[in-house]
Amino acid sequence: MKNPFTETSGDNISAKMSSVQLEETMKSNLCAKAEEESDGLITSTINGKMYRHKLNPDQLFHCSETGIKFQVKSTATIEYELEYGADYKRQIEENGYEIVGPLFKINVVSGAVSAVYLPHYLCLEDLGGDKSLIKCVHFKDGKMSLQTPDKIEPSNIMLENPTFSCVAPLMIRSHFWKLRKKYTPIHGKVLLYFRVVCPEVSACKLYRIHLYLIPRGQPQIKKLDKLKKEFGFKRVDKPPQTRNSLNTKTDYTIDGGRDVDLSDKILKLKIHDDLEKYPYIEVNVKGDATEILLSLKEKDNLIWNGKLTEGDLRELTFQCIQQKGNFLPKESFLIKHRQVLISEVTKVELVLDHLLAEKLLTGEEYDFVLSKQTSQEQMRALYGCVKSWGDDDQIKLYKILKITNGPLIRKLKKLSYSAENI
């Protein structure tokens, strides 16, 4: 009988797995299934870095942004934020513990909380059922104290009638290492972010992927999505789950074949409180590639694998070009389409108003360009100013053209994309 875990659907990479690995995979899948179950999923109201909710009783509320859950006795207003204090982490590690979930600073503005569920990343099956290793840490006035959870679930630890300060789930690190001689087992996931470098020039075109290895349940994934989007990246929709649990502070090997250029072949799994601090591997593949195969291994054990087909690459390229915040800002775009932009850009005065507000044009330059009689003459005069600008200023002009002459810019982008794929 074919081993169902030797090949991921849609992928051609396969690996043999021992009965032990198969058992671990099945355990991780059970944990993953349990983790996905939740009630009362809500999107947080955020004031700066602070999350704020008004909650009603008799329901378990689950924050979609951070994974924390609350149950209240009566109508209550709760404020909380993710705490990124290095001093807290240092105290935790110096006392022989390892933080295994986000650190929250919580304040009950009104009402009472009957239970709080703090998210954790642990694979409970690989702990051998010894839940006594798991604690909750409290920080108040800079001092650290521990509390035994009232209940431990596959993705949360629960405290009844809690008192709040800075709180987080912990595991007794030194004891576990002594017993099992391995690092802390957690559920992990792989995130892929894709962009196209220089899509308008075939000789320079590259597919660039940033590969992240993070704990499953890491809060604020949307924050990372937004950050990557600002640099032209789009998250790839591929199954992120790893085949079995991962170990913290462990080296994982990335492989992409001979034609793939990797910034590094080793990625160490670390737990960070801030997503922006997570390391990643940069993968570069020439733009004429018809597929991209990636795999992640711990020694000889296949942990994760994924494949981008030719269809995926075409679709992602088009989506990246269309994605708001992604752009073709290089000088070549303005030069390549100079004639069309001069002849077809309308609302030139509005373009000039934006440029003046951005301080890209002086008052004299603004008056000089605006003094021209036709929009074509105005655009030629504007090009005379643009030729001395750097890349950043040209990017701003490109964005202004997208705002003021969106249909024209979209048409030119589609033409460029079609020409590259004929």
CATH topology of domain 187-322: Immunoglobulin-like (2.60.40)
pLDDT-derived band at 41, boundaries 50, 70, 90 = low
Class of CATH domain 331-420: mainly alpha
Cα–Cα distance, 95 to 256 (Å, whole number)? 40
In the block, which residue shows the tokens 């198969």? 22
Strand pairing class (76-82; 61-63): unpaired
Q: Where in the chain is the domain with CATH 2.60.220?
A: 38-180
Instruction: Please give the span between the terminal C-alpha atoms of the chain, in angstroms, as a whole number.
Output: 44
CATH 2.60.40.2660 domain locations along the chain: 187-322
Task: Report the CATH architecture of 38-180.
Answer: Sandwich (2.60)
What is residue 185's predicted lDDT score, i.e. its pLDDT?
86
The DSSP code sequence of 83-117 is ---HHHHHHHHHTTEEE-S--EEEEEEES-EEEEE
| Nearest-10 Cα torsion for 157, 163, 164, 168 | -30
* pLDDT tens figures, 72-127: 988 999 999 988 777 788 888 888 888 899 999 999 999 999 999 999 999 888 87
Whether 342 has a pLDDT exceeding 70, the answer reads: yes
Q: How high is the pLDDT of residue 412?
A: 84
Residue 247, phi then psi, degrees to nearest 5: -115, 135
What pLDDT score does 257 carry? 83
More confident residue, 34 or 46: 46
Question: Residues of CATH 1.10.533.10 domain(s) within the chain?
Answer: 331-420
Mean pLDDT across 305-318? 91
Residue 23 pLDDT level (bands cut at 50, 70, 90): very low
Q: State pLDDT tens for residues 370-410.
A: 999 899 999 998 988 887 777 778 888 888 888 899 889 88
Flag whether the pTM goes above 0.75: no
